[in-house]
Structure 1
Amino acid sequence: MMDVNSAGILFPGQGAQSIGMGRWLCDTYPIARELFDSASQVLGYDLAELCQNGPVQQLDATEFSQPALFTVGMAAAQVLQSEFPERLKNITAAAGLSLGEYTAVCFAGGLGFSDALKLVQRRGQAMQAAADAVDSGMASVIGMELDPLTVLCDETRTADEVLRCANLLCPGNIAVSGHRSALQRLAPAATAAGAMKVIPLSVAGAFHTVLMQPAVAALEQALAEIPIQDTRIPVYSNVDAAPHQSADEIRQLLSKQVTQPVLWEASVRRMIADGIEGFLEVGTGRVLRGTLKRIERKFPSDGFGDE
């Protein structure tokens, strides 16, 4: 456990899902199993069964992976609040990677669990529909910096293709998003330009680009229908890497998020500049702690959710 005065809680996003996630939480803590049961009632299918046993093709589908990751994150957070409150007593800010920002807003009191889950389900369905409309995807480019990679994307895509840096995760790790045809040309071009490797991501389409614009109207409608409150701690937005607590601001930023780049590295650096002394990653996997090591190598971090 970190011994710091001010810590930030972080929630992972899509791509962190894996078969078996949530099993330890459900097997060990009744409160987690109860939350999964509640989620299943809202969603209309057995979420724990899907998370723990798959099939992987269904879990990786956007409309299923987003509610699954959100529920695992909130289950882990509820276990912390119930069983290990001392690990949360110094949490003064929250952030989440893409989908994880919804978990962060819920943890910070901006959304109730059932409302947030319905919102995440509708977000996933809208993004899945937008992804199904065009052959697109994402890939992580390892070992290139933002400026040369941005130039390479512009040089690689044709005039009628989308290809852009979409997730600015940490130095040397940037996710590129766009048409599948452009991504296929980018991989050898990036390697030739000095990238260590290019890794396709387990997502349905070109998230955080204009190709997700068809999802915006459905998401805006869902956000307008679901109550959002001011949060008790700041939530750092993917869109502008700044802290927000106003319900109106959070609603507007969440609607912009699906088409805008994820400013993850900038968000982490802003949190550190604002006084955060350590981070707690809550949910499944270690993806965010991996980015932290590339942003500030010796900065304290811990995790909870997978054992």
Structure 2
Amino acid sequence: MSKTAFVFPGQGAQYAGMGKEFYDNFEESKEIFERANQALGFDIAKLCFEGPDQDLSVTKITQPALLTTCMAIYEVLKKNNKDDSVVMGGLSLGEYSALTAAGAMDFETAVKLVYNRGNYMQNAVPLGEGGMLALMGCTDQDAIAFCEDVTKSCGLLEPANFNCPGQIVVGGKSEAIDEALSKTSQFNIRRAVKLQVSAPFHTSMLKPAGTKLKEDLAKINFKKPKCNVISNVDTEYYEDDQVIADKLEKQVYNPVRWEECVRKMIADGVTTFVEIGPGKTLSSFIKKIDKNVKSINIDSIASLKEYIELSYA
């Protein structure tokens, strides 16, 4: 039996105006934004709808803004979903949206948690002391060997995101990033692009953020997800509520294994991926991972209607 996966984007997918169409047209969506405003104590809806982009790109704002937008769209989709065989997943921050959608925690808990997570991640490494690179056109093995070589010669560099074939993100110390840019040709890397991010996310340099987040996670009474939700850390499904806190802590300073997550879901019968939230980043990755599966993005009413029509066809 073919399955559908609902997947949620991570940081970088945000844009000013996201979610406004749903807020204006669906009571369920409006309620989510209002609940977020109340839980956070500031107007996250206004930031989502109006920006400016500079404010929306601050990590501690980006994370609750994206989770809120994704859940505002999901609440509308949920009413119209007839597929019981759903699997869920998300890229980095998106895993929190997946767990919330699957009932592992309530929305207020999730939005406050990711606000704190963003704060911890933003402050874990002093500005200017770390960075990230996107490596294009190389294998996982080439990227790992590249990181090991740079680390030996001039400072920490580690894999951070295994996104899809030919696109791997690495992060580490600023001096290592600068050195790495001159070494790519030695490791079958077609191109390296320096990313405009404030810290080396998903590397061991973020362990202080994981330690702080662990304290918050320990206070939450998680519930067993209502459907299979896949973890970025080990590409396994959350079997029960007892492992959620541990995996979410480790996710902060371990690589995101998105390609493996997608391949696992496909091996388990997923034939359609529905990306819920701003942008088409995950849909793009999924097409590169396996061109035989269907990938749909829902970030507008038009795309929602299109998906519903396809579901009932």
- TM-score range (shorter-chain normalised) is over 0.9
Q: Are 1:173 and 2:170 matched, yes or no?
A: no
Kindly report which structure 2 residues correspond to 1:91-110, keeping only aligned pairs within 5 A, or say none. Answer: 91-110=85-104
Q: Deviations over 1:177-198 (max 9, x none)?
A: 1112211222242256543432
- Measured after TM superposition, the shift of residue 63 of structure 1 is 0.7
- Measured after TM superposition, the shift of residue 93 of structure 1 is 1.1
Equivalent in the alignment of 1:48:
45
- Measured after TM superposition, the shift of residue 158 of structure 1 is 5.0
Query: Identity of counterpart residues, as a percentage?
Result: 36
- Measured after TM superposition, the shift of residue 233 of structure 1 is 0.7
Q: Deviations over 1:235-276 (max 9, x none)?
A: 110010111131111221111111111111111111111121
Cα separation, 1, equivalents of 2:173 and 2:49: 32
Q: Deviations over 1:8-44 (max 9, x none)?
A: 1100111111222212222232321221111011112
Return the match for 1:59 from 56, 66, 69: 56
Return the match for 1:30 from 23, 27, 31: 27
Cα separation, 2, equivalents of 1:280 and 1:91: 13
Three-state SS of the structure 2 residue aligned to 1:298 is coil
Q: Are 1:20 and 2:17 matched, yes or no?
A: yes
Cα separation, 2, equivalents of 1:214 and 1:133: 15
Kindly report which structure 2 residues correspond to 1:149-188, keeping only aligned pairs within 5 A, or say none. Answer: 149-158=143-152, 161-188=155-182
- Measured after TM superposition, the shift of residue 122 of structure 1 is 1.2
Three-state SS of the structure 2 residue aligned to 1:253 is helix
Cα separation, 2, equivalents of 1:18 and 1:199: 21
Cα separation, 2, equivalents of 1:18 and 1:47: 13
Cα separation, 2, equivalents of 1:183 and 1:208: 15
Return the match for 2:244 from 247, 250, 273: 250
Letter in 2 for 1:118: K
Equivalent in the alignment of 2:219:
225
Cα separation, 2, equivalents of 1:91 and 1:17: 29
TM-score (normalised: structure 2): 0.90
Does the aligned pair in 2 maintain the 1:177–1:209 contact within 8 Å? Answer: yes
Cα separation, 2, equivalents of 1:282 and 1:219: 25
- Measured after TM superposition, the shift of residue 131 of structure 1 is 3.1
- Measured after TM superposition, the shift of residue 203 of structure 1 is 3.0
> 1:158 and 1:45, CA in 2 relative to 1: closer, same or farther beyond 3 A?
farther
Does the aligned pair in 2 maintain the 1:60–1:202 contact within 8 Å? Answer: no
RMSD value, Cα: 1.8
> 1:93 and 1:261, CA in 2 relative to 1: closer, same or farther beyond 3 A?
same
Give the paired residue count: 301
Q: Are 1:289 and 2:286 matched, yes or no?
A: no
Kindly report which structure 2 residues correspond to 1:267-286, keeping only aligned pairs within 5 A, or say none. Answer: 267-286=261-280
Equivalent in the alignment of 2:81:
85
Does the aligned pair in 2 maintain the 1:143–1:173 contact within 8 Å? Answer: yes
> 1:188 and 1:113, CA in 2 relative to 1: closer, same or farther beyond 3 A?
same
Three-state SS of the structure 2 residue aligned to 1:258 is helix
> 1:62 and 1:45, CA in 2 relative to 1: closer, same or farther beyond 3 A?
same
Gap runs ≥5 in structure 2: 303-313
More deviation in 147-156 or 117-126? Answer: 147-156
Cα separation, 1, equivalents of 2:43 and 2:155: 39
Cα separation, 1, equivalents of 2:175 and 2:52: 28
Does the aligned pair in 2 maintain the 1:232–1:245 contact within 8 Å? Answer: no
Cα separation, 2, equivalents of 1:244 and 1:70: 20
